[in-house]
């Protein structure tokens, strides 16, 4: 029986863990130990995901959150190390591009524990983004790299990663979307509560530091969403960081319908029934595509370039563009019919490699 220590800490990682943990358990030869750093500690961004997605409670909850990137990552390094020293896993499994990802990779590498990285090879080519640094370092420290797309595979090869370490498995978020779509479709009560109708509203999410910590960009986004909301309802699950930055800057919504962070199933219900999604989240960009909802990404670049190429996603910089005009223009648009993220069985492919 192999022991795999899975290290996660943020909402998108919980979604990815759900199908992979299920697939690992089905092998019968892998024991998974789940370590939750606590990076997302709010019940609406953590606990509810474990409950809804059927993920077992974490074996270790480190309770680390808040502070700058250095302080947070340092605290994670300090607390993950003794857990892995005691556990002595055969492998550490990490996901995505968060501080939890980086800390898990660093501790494992220093303890000479092999590392597998799910969602390897993504690149925005913007090193001002902390996520980009996390991705690059995690990939270099991993000996098994699970790539979601062919673009990711090519990025890894260009960086000198040996081909035999790269596995093009598809995207585990697509697995989750397929597994939970029917359940989410039955959660129409949230739309009723918000006074909105299917395909009659814009869904927005804002959380990245490049937008929340830059007053000009944050102001432009708030103003744009208010403009759109004067024409069509805008629903915004409000991230705690965004709320704090808006309050500090004296910004507030009047017309936009803000709600606390929602669970995965409610989020899928909101995404799948929206007329358009405006976001700076990498995961939400993909989920918009899974449900064939046009997306405006409020960033200067995206890791999911295939969605832009297919016409489902439009990049709109809050620093240089008329965001409201771009959102309104994209409503009703559609891209090409393609599926660049695999066949919905990525988790099974990952489990086979890890079990083998």
Return the active site residues. Answer: 207
Cα(first)–Cα(last) distance of the chain, in Å? 11
Token pair for 257:
């319908």
Entry field: residues in the chain: 356
- What is the SS3 assignment for 161-216? CCHHHEEECCCHHHHHHHHHHHHHHCCCHHHHHHCCCCCCCEEEECCCHHHHCCHH
Helices within 38-129 (DSSP H only): 47-53, 69-87, 99-110
Between CA 91 and CA 79 the distance in angstroms is 18
Give the whole-angstrom CA distance, residue 201 versus residue 319. Answer: 25
């Amino acid at each position: 029986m192999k022991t795999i220590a899975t290290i996660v800490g943020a909402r998108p990682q919980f979604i990815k863990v759900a199908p992979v943990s299920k697939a690992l358990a089905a092998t019968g030869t892998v024991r998974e130990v789940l370590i939750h750093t606590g990076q997302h500690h709010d019940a609406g961004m953590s606990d509810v995901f474990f409950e809804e997605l059927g993920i077992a409670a974490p074996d270790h909850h480190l309770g680390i959150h808040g502070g700058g990137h250095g302080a947070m990552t340092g605290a994670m390094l300090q607390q993950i190390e003794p857990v892995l020293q005691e556990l002595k896993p055969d492998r550490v499994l990490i996901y995505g591009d968060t501080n939890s990802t980086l800390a898990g990779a660093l501790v494992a590498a220093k303890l000479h524990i092999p590392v597998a990285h799910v969602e390897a090879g993504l690149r925005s080519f913007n090193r001002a983004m902390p996520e980009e640094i996390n991705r690059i370092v995690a990939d270099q420290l991993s000996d098994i790299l699970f790539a979601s797309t062919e673009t990711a595979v090519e990025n890894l090869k260009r960086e000198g990663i040996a081909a035999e370490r790269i596995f093009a498995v598809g995207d585990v978020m697509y697995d989750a979307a397929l597994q939970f779509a029917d359940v989410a479709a039955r959660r129409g009560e949230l739309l009723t509560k918000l006074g909105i109708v299917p395909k009659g509203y814009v869904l927005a999410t804002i959380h990245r530091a490049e937008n929340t910590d830059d007053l000009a960009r944050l102001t432009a986004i708030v103003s744009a969403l208010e403009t759109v909301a004067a024409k069509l309802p805008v629903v915004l699950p409000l991230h705690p960081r965004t709320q704090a930055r808006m309050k500090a800057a004296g910004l507030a919504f009047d017309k936009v319908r803000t709600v606390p962070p929602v669970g995965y199933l409610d989020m899928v219900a909101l995404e799948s029934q929206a007329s358009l999604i405006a976001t700076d989240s990498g995961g939400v960009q993909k989920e918009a595509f899974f449900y064939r909802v046009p997306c405006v990404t409020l960033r200067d670049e995206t890791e999911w370039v295939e969605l832009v190429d297919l016409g489902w996603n439009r990049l709109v910089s809050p620093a240089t563009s008329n965001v409201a005009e771009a959102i309104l223009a994209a409503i009703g648009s559609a891209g090409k019919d393609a599926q660049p993220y695999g066949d919905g069985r990525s988790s099974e492919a990952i489990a086979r490699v890890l079990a083998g």
